[in-house]
Amino acid sequence: MRNATRITVTTFGVLMGLAGLEHGVGEILQGNRAPHGIMFPSWPEAEFFRNVAGEPAMSIIPNLLVTGILTCLVSLIYLLWATRFVQRKHAGHILILLAIIMLLIGGGIFPPVIGIFIGILATRIAAPSIERRPQPAMGLRSFLGKVWPWSFVACLCGWLLLFPGVNLLGYFFGVNNPNLIVMLITFALGSLLLTVIAGLTHDRLRPVLSPMADRS
């Protein structure tokens, strides 16, 4: 089992599942009516979401109540799969499919797109280990392998600063700085990419296990 990759997939799979669920709740609260178009805000009147333009989403279903219910259901399944079944052979492909459905039925824009990326990463968890003679880790590979725990913590903090951090700053302190939001998005995405690369490297540098031990 590739531990660093699995931890990354599970942690950020949970975050994306919760983010999709939050969009669904906002859509349910808008009631049994049609949105103004295929793109719409999940929380159009909520002051807490003013900094993020009411949490934009899209849906091919012309009913906000139905959209919200389906979004909550699919987001919960995504969250469950990322936590309980991520070690299964086709878990990554299922996560990708669920994220695409989330995108099309109101789960927001960012959560499903990152959810697809997380699903792609999940396909590496159950990839078969190749027996080979261990080689010393040197240079960049050694650095990436060691930096994974720190990059993971920094990445998690970055995403929590983005949500709910931006919302809390706007709601309680009146901070509405587009440049700050762009900086946080850039940091969150950049640190996620670093964490993924570092996690994959970290797992490759672990001692090679036998197939039976790897499944334990």
What is the mean pLDDT for each group of 10 consecutive residues in the chain (216 residues)? 89 97 98 96 95 95 98 98 92 97 97 97 76 56 90 97 94 92 95 96 69 41
pLDDT number for residue 132? 46
pLDDT number for residue 138? 64
pLDDT number for residue 145? 86
- pTM of the entire predicted model: 0.89
CB 19 within 8 A of CB 108: yes
Token pair of 123, please?
């396909």
CB 35 within 8 A of CB 14: no
